[in-house]
Amino acid sequence: MNTLFEILPLLVPVLLIDIALAAAAVRHILRHPCYCFGNKTMWLVIVVVLLLFGPIIYFVFGKGENE
């Protein structure tokens, strides 16, 4: 239990950044109709289910070229 309290100051900023990145990805998915591959539903599932890596995967591989 003490270990959790020791690493908590490091986890809070990481979690806040992750949530902000996921919110930005979901906002971008809902507003833009073009993707490199896949569709809107697929990318929403990837971003929400894979919360830690999903937004990064979307911005690297799924975001359309003509934004």
Segment 18-56, tens digit of pLDDT: 999 999 999 999 998 888 888 899 999 999 999 889 999
What pLDDT score does 66 carry? 62
27 belongs to a structural domain:
yes
What are the residue ranges of helices labelled H in the chain? 2-31, 40-49, 54-57
Q: How many CB atoms neighbour CB 51 within 10 A?
A: 13
Higher-pLDDT residue of 38, 12: 12
What pLDDT score does 17 carry? 93
67 belongs to a structural domain:
no
Please tell me the pTM assigned to this model.
Answer: 0.79
Rounded Cα distance, 16 and 2, in Å:
22
What pLDDT score does 65 carry? 66
| Total domains in the fold of the chain | 1
What pLDDT score does 63 carry? 79
